[in-house]
Amino acid sequence: MKKVVVANDHGAVDVTKRIVEHLKKRGYSVNHLGVTSPDSVDYPDMAAQACGEFLAGGYEFGVVACGTGIGISISANKINGIRCALPQNVFAATMAKSHNNANFIAFGGRIEYTEPVEKMLDAFIDSPVEGGRHTKRVNKMMALEGGVC
């Protein structure tokens, strides 16, 4: 069975519940490391847990969420090997996977999206990685890890 790791802070409890339910309906085994209550937790800690679990192996991709999705996606992208996208719509979710080979996707629990999060998630899941000219760019992106501009 395909596995996904999911983590969230207190600002994204409701959207994460929807995401987990949607992933299960799609046949994924979900390892939810996030919180289910409004009690405050720090999104960098949630990102670190999810990314560490993902990098240990066995997961197809990861999903992280906080109030805006911004802080948790920035935190995830600080971890070597992670490419976390924060899409605004279905097109951006598609491109995150097909062009950037993102292995994480982030959402904001307090954001009013114009398209349902589930549709963005589906676009991310269903988009093939194009490779080709994009592989060189992804490799350049990953070469920036720990580097200095």
Q: Annotated active-site positions, please?
A: 66, 99
The DSSP element (H or E) to which 135 belongs, if any, is helix 133-143
Q: Give the span between the Cα atoms of 48 and 34, in whole angstroms.
A: 11
CA–CA gap between residue 9 and residue 20 (Å, rounded)? 14
Q: Name the residue with tokens 């240990």.
A: 56
Q: Which helix (H) or strand (E) holds 48?
A: helix 43-56
Hey, which residues does 37 pair with through a beta bridge? none
Helix (H) or strand (E) holding 31: strand 29-32
